[in-house]
Structure formats: structure tokens, C-alpha cells
Amino acid sequence: MPRFATIDVGTNSVLLLVAERDESGRFVAVEEQAEITRLGRGVDQSRRLAPEAIEATLAVVERFVSTARGLGVSDLAISATSAARDASNGADFLSEAKRRTGVGIEIISGEEEARLSFASAFSDFGGEGPLAVVDIGGGSTEVILGDQAGHITYRHSFDIGSVRLTERHVKADPPSESELTAIDSAVARELAALPRPPEGTRVVGIAGTVTTVFSVARRLEPYDARVVQGATLDRREIEGAIATLAAVPLAARRTLPGLQPKRADVIIAGALVLRGVLDALGANQVTVSDRGLRWGLLADRFGARR
């Protein structure tokens, strides 16, 4: 049975998916791995990828490519998003990745990232009514609106992400009230033009920020994708997670149940983006998806069937 793999190189993390089709034609995961490498560290200010971030990310990409080949994949696609898009030396990163792995990395636009994120969410939750998909990354946040048939009616990539906002606004440990307010204001300004979706729209949040906020809110330890996928996170739980995260310094935050230590420094900003997006959409809850861009890329490049 043919196997395919995708690798999503994000601003904050690198994610691997190896999948094969089941008897119904749907893709089923054979292997999934994730590693936080912080490729986008400092890019918002310097507009360059730092040498140590490049090396850490390339080492993980090499390992993931080796893992995929070891599992017998017949084809592999690798995408890179916000950090690689924004950096003046992004091309150097791509050429070095190709030299070391033999596989080209495609830098996808914000609009393409949004389209693939929607494809991932629609494959799991679409078809019963309008859908609003939210993908909060390290450098950007994609918001996509679509109808019951899967037609996208609005999509935009906003320059607000957990790493970007943390680097811009957070100096104190834990963040001060004024710093939290500054992030809230930045999010509200950026999302001011976001249209309200139709009544009854289901909001789906994909990728690491949303799954982490859920894990912190539910004190989920260890992480269990079967619990996360399709669960509902309401505004009260999001508010509670923000309060818990913002109340303690970084060292203590790293020990909280449900929180990966490497994500502890940027998760507060990510949670504030999630709350801000719900405010802008007029929603009080979000359906949590453990899947994300890597699944959309799989469906788009290798023809997943519903």
C-alpha cells in the first residue's frame, strides 16, 4: 500500500506526517512527529533566519526525511511558512535543505497556507454548515471562512503569531498587565477587517497553539490526540488557561500539566490571539483539531479522498 509524507516547517515547529490510505480511500496516519526548533526566532526584527535556528531546523528536517524514507514513502512534500517567507536569507535555507536531504522545500504564501489549512479542517468537520478555520502559528494567523460545500468565501493571513507578538511586546516575566493589553490591542487592530461569518458557523482551531491551550485548560498529561481531536474548547476555558499561564514566571510555566516546555515562552501570546479571533468572529467556542497544514498538504499534493 503506497505511503506518502509531508513535513510542515513552521516558524515555531517542524511537523512530520506519514500516511497511507485505508480501504475507504481516506488517509490514515502511520507516523506523526513534532519538534519545536523556533526557525523564526528574531526574524520579526532582523528579517533574517539565525544560523543556530537554521541548523536546529535542518537537523530535524533531515531526521524526519530519513524517518519517512525508512517507512517506505513513495512521495514526500515539504512546505515552509511565515519565517521562511519573511526572511531575506530564506533562499539560503532552502538550498541548504535541498543539499542535505535531496528534497526541495516549497515556501508557500500566506493565502496558500490558509487554503491548505481549510482543506485539512473541512476534511474532518465540513459538510454540515459554514466553517471558520483558525490556524495560529508562530509568525502568522490564518483565518478562512467557507460554506457547507467547502467553497472558501474569505481567507487571509494576518501577521500576528505567538512568536512574533511575544518578541514585540513581552519583556517582563511573567508578562505585565500592560504587555498583555498591548498584545490584545495588536490582535484587535489586525483583525478589525475580519468579516463576521454567517450565523451557525462552526469555528475550528488547528495546530499547536489551539491544541496546547486545550491541553492546559484540561490539564491533559500526557498529550492524547484521540482526546484532543474534535473536542470543544469554550471561552471560559480559554480565559482560565490565560489566567493560569500569565500568573507564573517562565520557569514555573514550563512545569504546567499539558504544556510542552519549549512552547512555554510564547503560548500566552498564542492564547490571546485565539481569544481575539473568537471575539472578532463573534464566537464563544472552538472545535479543536489535532491536524493542520501537513494534512491539508497531504490531501492537496497526493489526492486524499473523502
pLDDT at 26: 86
Q: Residue 78 sits in which domain range? A: 3-107
298, part of any domain: no
Q: How confident is the model at residue 118 (pLDDT cuts 50, 70, 90)?
A: very high
Q: How confident is the model at residue 44 (pLDDT cuts 50, 70, 90)?
A: confident
Same domain membership, residue 199 and residue 258: yes
Choosing from 107, 138, 163, the residue where a domain stops is 107
Q: Is the confidence at residue 238, as pLDDT, over 60?
A: yes
Same domain membership, residue 98 and residue 157: no
Q: Is the confidence at residue 272, as pLDDT, over 50?
A: yes
Q: Is the confidence at residue 66, as pLDDT, over 90?
A: yes
Q: Which amino acid is residue 214, in one-letter code?
A: F
Same domain membership, residue 209 and residue 73: no
Query: What mean pLDDT do residues 132-139 have?
Result: 94
Query: What mean pLDDT do residues 113-131 have?
Result: 92
Q: How far apart are CA 231 and CA 237, in angstroms?
A: 12
State the DSSP code for 33. E
41, part of any domain: yes
Question: How many other C-beta atoms are found inside a 10 Å radius of the C-beta of residue 149?
Answer: 8
Same domain membership, residue 205 and residue 88: no
Same domain membership, residue 149 and residue 281: yes
51, part of any domain: yes
187, part of any domain: yes
pLDDT at 7: 97
- Cβ-proximal residues to 161 (8 Å cutoff; 6+ apart), any chain: 11, 12, 40, 82, 136, 137, 138, 139, 140, 141, 269, 270, 273
Above pLDDT 70, what percent of the chain? 99
Q: Is the confidence at residue 108, as pLDDT, over 60?
A: yes
pLDDT at 244: 97
In this structure, what CATH number is given to the domain that contains residue 78? 3.30.420.40
Q: Is the confidence at residue 274, as pLDDT, over 80?
A: yes
pLDDT at 306: 37
Same domain membership, residue 156 and residue 85: no
More confident residue, 85 or 202: 202
Q: Is the confidence at residue 176, as pLDDT, over 80?
A: yes
91, part of any domain: yes
- Cβ-proximal residues to 297 (8 Å cutoff; 6+ apart), any chain: 6, 8, 77, 79, 116
114, part of any domain: no
Q: How confident is the model at residue 1 (pLDDT cuts 50, 70, 90)?
A: confident
Same domain membership, residue 184 and residue 84: no
Same domain membership, residue 182 and residue 286: yes
251, part of any domain: yes
Choosing from 81, 107, 133, the residue where a domain stops is 107
Q: Which of 183, 238, 192, 235 is nearest to 213 (CA)?
A: 238
Query: What mean pLDDT do residues 262-272 have?
Result: 97
Q: How many domains does the chain have?
A: 2
304, part of any domain: no
Query: What mean pLDDT do residues 24-49 have?
Result: 91
Q: Is the confidence at residue 78, as pLDDT, over 90?
A: yes
Same domain membership, residue 163 and residue 239: yes
- Strand duo 285-289 + 73-80: pairing: unpaired
Same domain membership, residue 272 and residue 124: yes
Residues in the chain: 306
Of 21-25, 84-88, 133-137, 169-173, minimum mean pLDDT range: 21-25
Bridge partner list, 152: 146
pLDDT at 81: 87
**C-alpha dist (Å) from residue 37 to 10, 99, 111, 209, 300:** 9, 20, 24, 15, 26
Q: Which of 194, 227, 303, 211 is nearest to 260 (CA)?
A: 211
Choosing from 80, 107, 134, the residue where a domain stops is 107
Same domain membership, residue 51 and residue 183: no
Evaluate the CA torsion angle 202, 206, 209, 212 in order and state its sign: positive
Query: What mean pLDDT do residues 17-29 have?
Result: 90
pLDDT at 51: 94
Q: Is the confidence at residue 65, as pLDDT, over 80?
A: yes
Three-state secondary structure readout of 154-216? EEEEECCCHHHHHHHHCCCCCCCHHHHHHHHHHHHHHCCCCCCCCCCCEEEEECHHHHHHHHH
pLDDT at 22: 85
pLDDT at 86: 87
Q: Is the confidence at residue 305, as pLDDT, over 50?
A: no
In this structure, what CATH number is given to the domain that contains residue 192? 3.30.420.150
Mean of per-residue pLDDT scores for the chain: 94
pLDDT at 215: 97
Same domain membership, residue 225 and residue 85: no
